[in-house]
Structure 1
Amino acid sequence: MSQNLGKAVLIGLAFIVSSILILGLIITMFAYFEWFSIGVIEKLVYMTFVLSLFLGTSISAKIVSEKGWLIGLMMGGLFVILTALFYTIGVDAGLTFKVLIRCLIALVICLTGGMVGVNLPSIKR
C-alpha cells in the first residue's frame, strides 16, 4: 500500500485541482455572460467541489486498491487542512460555522469516494 500511496494521493489531488480550475473557468464564463442567476451559479460552484472531491478520491483509492476509507480520510483531512489554511491565512474572513460544516461534508464525501473507488472494477487488458 505504501508504495503507491504517495503517487495515488498526488494523482487524486492533481485531478481535483485541475477539475476545479477547468470547471471554475466554465462557471466564471456562465457568470460573466449572465446565462444563469446567482443562485444557480452558487449551486454549480458547490456541485463542482463535491464532484471533484468525490472523483479525485475515487481515483486515488482505485490506484491503491485497498483501504478506501483510509484513503478517503486522508484526502478529506488534507482538504480540511488546506481549507483551514486558506481561510486563516489567505482570506481576511475567519473560520465560520458554515465553513466547518462544509469541511465536514467534504470529509464525508471523500470517505464515500474512497470506499466507492476501491470497489470499482479494474480494466483488464
Structure 2
Amino acid sequence: MDKVYIISRYRAFTESGMEFNRKVARYFCKKIVLEGKIPVAPHLFYTQFLDESQEKERQIGLEIGLKELREADEFLLIIIGGWISEGMRREIRQATRDRMRGRVVYMTRKEIKKVIG
C-alpha cells in the first residue's frame, strides 16, 4: 500500500483554530484510507506526546516529519483559505527537492467547514 504524507496546518492562534486544523487533517486521513492507501500525518500523531509550545520538542517533531515525508510515496497538500504555515513550507520544499508526486487540495474555510462539520 502506498503511503501518502499529509501536508496541512496544525498551529493556530486559538485552541479552537487548532481543533479545526486537526479535524481537517483527520478528514483527509480518512479519505486516504478509503482510497486504499496509508495516511502519514505526523502533526496528528507526534503532537499527542510532544509539546508544540516547547521549541525543542516542536523541532524534533518537524524533523521526524521530514524523514517520514522522504519515505512516503506521495503527498497531499491541503491549503485552506490560501494560508500556508512555516511548517508546511518546509515540507513543500522537501517534497520539491525530492521531486515527489503529489496532489493539492485548495478549499475556502467555508467549503471545508461544510465537509468536516
Give the structure-2-normalised TM-score. Answer: 0.38
- Higher helix proportion, which one? 1
Q: Which has the higher strand share?
A: 2
Give the alignment's TM-score, normalised by structure 1: 0.36
